[in-house]
Structure 1
Amino acid sequence: MDRRLPIPLALALVVVFGYGAMVAVANWDLLARGLPPRDLFGAPLLGTLALLPPVALCAWLIRRHVRRPARILARDVRALLESRTADTEIHPPRGHALGDLPAAVQALGDGLKGSRREIRSAMATATAQINEQKSWLETILQGLAEGVVVCNRRHQILLYNPAAVSLLEAPEAVGLGRPLFDVVSRAPVLHTLERLEWRRRQADAGAEPSARFVCTNALATRVLQGRMSLILDGGGQTSAYLLTLVDISSEVDTMQQVDAVRRALTTDLRGAVGNLRAAAETLDAHPHMSQEDRRAFQQVLRSESETLSTRLEELAERFRGHALGRFPMSDLYSDDLLEGVRQRLRDDLPDVTLEMAGQPLWIQGDSLSLVRALECLLRHLVRHTGARHYGAQTLLGDRRVYLDLTWRGPAVPAAQLERWLDSECGDEMGGQTLRDVLERHGIELWSQACDDGEHALLRLPMIPPSRPQFQAEGSRLPPRPEFYDFGLMREHEGDPQRAAIPLEDLSFVVFDCEMTGLNPMGGDEIISIAGVRVVKGRVLTGETFEQLIHPGRPIPPSSIRFHGITDQQVQGQPDITQVLPRFKRFVGDAVMVAHNAAFDMKFISLKEPDCGVRFDNPVLDTLLLSVMVEDENEDHSLDALIARYGIEIEGRHTALGDAVATAHLLVRLMERLRAQGYRTFGEVMRSSSMAAQLRQRERSLALQDGRGPAVGF
């Protein structure tokens, strides 16, 4: 029975009773003699009509000062009780006739909030040490050059560090709860896990607790060397495993180059060497052969020698620098290298300047020995040329990065450079000469005059870095501070079907789109899409997706006033066919969530055939979830809900700003759903579907009555 029905029914009964009383008064003499009443519509009807205004006034006063304040009070009380992590305010209604009840309820709410604050304070104190250790863990993980990934037995990612995101080259696919095998090859990991579990079952105390393996990232662009270690629970069973990953692509390339040289020396050149030996032995064995035969054998010797010499030179050029990888080297920034040299020269050569020109570049080498070698070369140049001002410039070559030292004056003769190579680089270098350092880095010096005729340069061909020289600003990974959650280590319980998954075990991607207009069938396009992950009730603001999209059509001024995205901003941005597959990789198999989700999903679904993707993920609508936990007559627009729940928002009417705000709203609504008895995803989906039907029916009735669309739709 509708809770709103008793009061209108009581007022209706008052009117009916009044009408009966009027009939009785008007026909009292007839009724006293036991006769039926004759006057049923005259005076009784007029008297009853006179009762209607005061009855209507009573109804309006009850609704205005009793029912409506009571509904607002009940709404705030329910929100406070069901929102465990936020202290929702209770707002006493104005102009009510509830007496001291609102003040008493507010005092009760303040007492509840005070108790909650005390509990939270006690919990914060008890977990202070854990949080400090957590901070240490974050710092350690972020500082490691090796990629670190922890996965549960379902091969879902529980922990990762920024180095792992960089190594795996798939930032959209790396996230808490995401499948590991979306970013690394499956077979090596499973094989290594089986090996380690077999060792554990054998209870071999001497067995190594970890194992190495080699795999590739999902794109097969990098070869990774990994080490796996098992993580055991209190019962000694494997609950998770730890992976550390290192990029060995360059080492594999070096080994391939070594194999190529080995094959050339043992196979390719064997024929030429054999021909040379046979021709030489024949000449030696037959000293009296004819001049014609002798010239033929001499031609074989000359031809094979030239072939052998050319091939060896090709191999030397191809292999130059590859064997250097055995000495510990790292990527160095040329500016940092030259600053080290400037610091070394500042004390005893204060009038000598070294200035960097052009764009600094990355090189590879040993920083200490290169700084000492460059210092040694500059000291020789100062003594030889007398120049006090030197320039330094890095240039990209075909296979090397050229570091040029320039000065005003003539070039240095090759013989002089050769004498410099035997000088020592400093006491701390253990007697190493300039030649030792340069040969270790595969550097062959030469000096030449510059094109202007006034300057000369000394060129050092440096080893190129392992990293890309330049990286577009847009492709740099954003900081991702929230990158672990050990709570995911718990296995799903009960029915493995999605409908039976508990709400707290779900992973969500909350998304939002900005469009050129509101008519997807009329040609309006998506111009911005963004999403943020929500895992275990946490909004992971470090795991976001945001991309502007070129719509292929002008953006109307009316839309620009709403979201602020102009034609200039989308110029040069990728189109929807490039962005939507990336967004699908980011979403994975998570539950998609949006406010008024049907509107955004309509735009996306229309583009699925052109983009070659299909978003078959379950979709939740925070508008419908709000209808489930509150009265349908409330304002369920995003602005109203954000204000009601006290959610702070940055970048309203931007795709990412709205997505993050909706994500925080989702967390609050999920708390209230669990408080109201919803436990599984299937229960929420069924109820939200019924809420959608009721909402649509209410909207249809409102349109038929001429009252306009229902609020929030």
Structure 2
Amino acid sequence: MKPSFKYWIFLGAIYFAIISIIVASLIGSWASLNESQQIALSDMLSKLTPFPLLGAITVFFIIGALINLLFNDYIVPILKLAESARIISSVNPKHRAQIKNSSKEIQYLADIINQSADAFSELQKDVAGKIAVAQATLDEERTRLAALMSELPHGVIVCNTDGQVLLYNQQAQELFKEDSTQTANDTPTRGILGLGRSIFSILERDPIVHGLEMLHKCHTSGRTKMVNNSMITLRTGLCLRVNMAPFFTEQDGTQIISGFVLTLEDMTRQIESDSRRDMLIQSLIDEQQKDLDDIRDSITNILGRPKLDPEELYNYRKKIDHASQSLHAKANEARMNYAHHLRALSQNENVLAHNLLEIISKNITERFSIKVTPLAPKGAWLQLDSYSMVQAISHLAGLLQSHSHVPELIMTLTSGEESGTELVIAWPGIEVQLELLETWQLTPLITDTNGNLLNFKDTINNLSGRIIPTAETEDSCSSVTISLPPIDKNQRLAIQTEVEHRPVSYEFDLFKRDEWQEFSQISLRKLTYVVFDTETTGLNPSRGDEIIQLGAIRIVNGQLLYHEVIDQLIDPKRFVPHESVAIHGIQPALLLGQPTIDKVLPHFQTFVENSVLVAHNAAFDMRFLQLQEEKTGIVFENPVLDTLLLSSIVHPNQDSHSLDVLAERLNVTIVGRHTALGDAIVTGEILLKLVPLLEAQGIYTLAEALTATSQSPFAKVSY
């Protein structure tokens, strides 16, 4: 209840009590008189009334003045002192109570509070010094971990079992940067990699869930140090080899899987590079044709002319010997290059059948311009070396094109738990020699860990499979079947690897998670926020003013993420008044060529997914976004918190709640004022300092904060 309301209630209660006592006394006195006395008193009443009435008014005025003095000089200053004391103890030890035009007693109390604040500040410095010593060791370990992750050649993402991203390195961010970029003609993108976001917004859900299930099965069966392998493609065309390993926490004396670590290896460039090397090897083979022609020409002459001159015969034999030596050297060179450049890790991995066929189809189409039709059931899993399979089938497509000009391939995969897997590769309407398929099977593709050459036939045999050409005649065929046995149910679902132990110590709050609870009941400290601000052409959104700059920053677990921000200029397609330029300093020339608001909002909508929107005087910024709903179809249904309203809840007796005053009160340094991102960062820091002040008033959850701000007098402002 506001002090002014209490003032009028208190004053009214005193007036009512005084009037009630006077009226009761008059009624009692009147009742004690006899009839003649009452008549005599009635005759004198007109002469007696003005003096008591004047006295009563004088008394009421004196009482009102005293109560007003009491409230203004004692009650209200005491409330302000209480707010100042809470600020000092909670968020800003440098703040000092400043009470103007108050009584000496209140001023004395303010001095005592300020002296206590000085002592508290000194104590905090001593404690901070001790904490700094301990923190230095922790920071050193964190720095080592950060350095280790930054130097890793592959992307690393750490998630909890709900798929929430807890940690990632720069390499992982680079892999998904292109996938989260959107141009004017793009369709809505997938999610953005960021702390607190879901991994399922950027990677296909099924392989991740499937891998996690396999890790759980391995763990319950007693296996440790498990790594599950799979292959995943992104919308951008990137082919990723994904290794998944679990991490554990202790619960009730047993270890449970509390999350997983993904290492991401970009195989796209390697596949493309291998394709180029394939073509180089093919060109090297073509160059051998000259030597073959020389040999063939010499033999033809020798056989066709049996009575050759001895010297001429010697020259032909010398020519054959020279060409054969050259041919042998080039063949050896081609074989070695092919084997070493197309080396794949000798390990099987879990891969979705339709995903594998899509990768093979894309590779063949880009390299040989052959139309490929892949047919595979959804949800079918294979355990094989997908890299070797891609290279082998692409090599077959190259042979078919060069020898028979095959225009189309149909790849049909069938899979059953009992029957195993069959991949049929057909080239309808064209027959090729069986000798060509034999050459394909025996061509060296990879080297094993010992450096021995392996061909595709060896690779399939190692999987206990078979390669079966479908013969049309004795020496020709129109398709080939690759048959693989059913997966042994008793075999390991994940590959165990021994990893050298690294003594890395760290303690991130992000690794701690609560069980699922309703969004509105989540603690204010645990919520994910997106703090945003806009700069505009003016202050009247309903009269045509437009956004010219949008800035936003994410807050996860009480930390401002300075690497997860939006700072975007926007072309408003209208005149920018000089009065507005004088405030934000954005010259109209800077806006030319920038994206329009309908191109920026889709990315912003993805950026704020599953978070609480925060702004200072949020009604103003939200009005601009709401007016874009009809034009863009983008609706922001996120909960919204307003730092202006929150400040009015925790500091109801303060005179101002502007961003500058609030920043000064809470000891927040303002950098980049009147820039969208600068104001968003300041607002974010203010929000973090308001949270403990809200908790001191019993406001702990989002629902409680929204209910409290709806009662603020500033909540009635509209634009």
Question: Normalization by structure 2: what TM-score?
Answer: 0.61
Amino acid at match of 1:492: D
Quote how far apart the aligned CAs of 1:179 are. Answer: 1.2
Q: Does the CA contact (< 8 Å) of 1:176 and 1:485 recur in 2?
A: no
CA distance in 1, matches of 2:570, 2:576: 12
Quote how far apart the aligned CAs of 1:510 are. Answer: 0.3
1:48 is aligned to 2:56: yes
Q: Of 202, 207, 211, which aligns to 2:221?
A: 202
CA distance in 2, matches of 1:106, 1:656: 35
Amino acid at match of 1:599: F
What is residue 662 of structure 1 aligned with on the other side? 683
CA distance in 2, matches of 1:96, 1:650: 35
Structure 2: any 5+ residue segments left out of the alignment?
182-190, 305-336, 345-505
Q: Of 593, 597, 613, which aligns to 1:592?
A: 613
CA distance in 2, matches of 1:115, 1:322: 71
Q: Of 604, 610, 616, which aligns to 2:625?
A: 604
Compared CA separation, residues 121 and 610, structure 1 to 2 (3 A) = same
Q: How many residues align?
A: 499
What is residue 143 of structure 1 aligned with on the other side? 151
1:487 is aligned to 2:518: no
CA distance in 1, matches of 2:570, 2:529: 23
Q: Of 153, 169, 176, which aligns to 1:168?
A: 176
Amino acid at match of 1:138: A
Q: Does the CA contact (< 8 Å) of 2:80 and 2:653 recur in 1?
A: no
1:90 is aligned to 2:96: yes
Q: Does the CA contact (< 8 Å) of 2:97 and 2:113 recur in 1?
A: no
**Secondary structure of the corresponding residue to residue 517 of structure 1:** coil
Give a deviation string over 1:285-328, Cα, whole Å, max 9, x none.
x99xxxxxxxxxxxxxxxxxxxxxxxxxxxxxxxxx99996799
Quote how far apart the aligned CAs of 1:259 are. Answer: 6.7
Quote how far apart the aligned CAs of 1:143 are. Answer: 3.4
Give a deviation string over 1:555-581, Cα, whole Å, max 9, x none.
111211121112111111111121111
Quote how far apart the aligned CAs of 1:549 are. Answer: 0.3
Quote how far apart the aligned CAs of 1:637 are. Answer: 2.2
CA distance in 2, matches of 1:227, 1:575: 40
1:537 is aligned to 2:555: no
Q: Of 108, 131, 135, which aligns to 2:139?
A: 131
Compared CA separation, residues 323 and 579, structure 1 to 2 (3 A) = farther
Amino acid at match of 2:696: A
Quote how far apart the aligned CAs of 1:587 are. Answer: 1.5
Q: Of 229, 242, 254, which aligns to 1:226?
A: 242
What is residue 178 of structure 1 aligned with on the other side? 197
Give a deviation string over 1:97-155, Cα, whole Å, max 9, x none.
25133333333444444444444443333333112111222233333342221111111
What is residue 452 of structure 1 aligned with on the other side? none
Compared CA separation, residues 545 and 324, structure 1 to 2 (3 A) = farther
CA distance in 1, matches of 2:231, 2:602: 29
CA distance in 2, matches of 1:195, 1:259: 36
Decide which moves more: 117-126 or 581-590.
117-126
1:247 is aligned to 2:266: yes
Quote how far apart the aligned CAs of 1:244 are. Answer: 1.9
CA distance in 2, matches of 1:107, 1:11: 38
Compared CA separation, residues 258 and 136, structure 1 to 2 (3 A) = closer
Q: Does the CA contact (< 8 Å) of 1:22 and 1:43 recur in 2?
A: no
Question: Normalization by structure 1: what TM-score?
Answer: 0.61
Q: Of 42, 65, 79, which aligns to 1:71?
A: 79
1:614 is aligned to 2:635: yes
CA distance in 2, matches of 1:240, 1:18: 74
Q: Of 670, 680, 686, which aligns to 1:649?
A: 670
**Secondary structure of the corresponding residue to residue 503 of structure 1:** coil
Structure 1: any 5+ residue segments left out of the alignment?
288-320, 329-483, 700-708
CA distance in 1, matches of 2:101, 2:620: 39
Q: Of 543, 546, 554, which aligns to 2:575?
A: 554
Q: Does the CA contact (< 8 Å) of 2:246 and 2:260 recur in 1?
A: yes
CA distance in 1, matches of 2:228, 2:551: 40
1:213 is aligned to 2:213: no
**Secondary structure of the corresponding residue to residue 44 of structure 1:** helix
Amino acid at match of 1:215: I
CA distance in 1, matches of 2:151, 2:608: 28
Q: Does the CA contact (< 8 Å) of 1:158 and 1:485 recur in 2?
A: no
Compared CA separation, residues 65 and 674, structure 1 to 2 (3 A) = closer
Q: Of 504, 526, 530, which aligns to 2:547?
A: 526
Quote how far apart the aligned CAs of 1:508 are. Answer: 0.3
Q: Does the CA contact (< 8 Å) of 1:173 and 1:588 recur in 2?
A: no
Question: Structure 2 matches for 1:9-48, cutoff 5 A?
Answer: 9=12, 12=15, 16=19, 35=38, 36=41, 38-39=45-46, 41-48=49-56
Question: Structure 2 matches for 1:84-123, cutoff 5 A?
Answer: 85-87=91-93, 89-97=95-103, 99=105, 100-123=108-131
Amino acid at match of 1:601: M
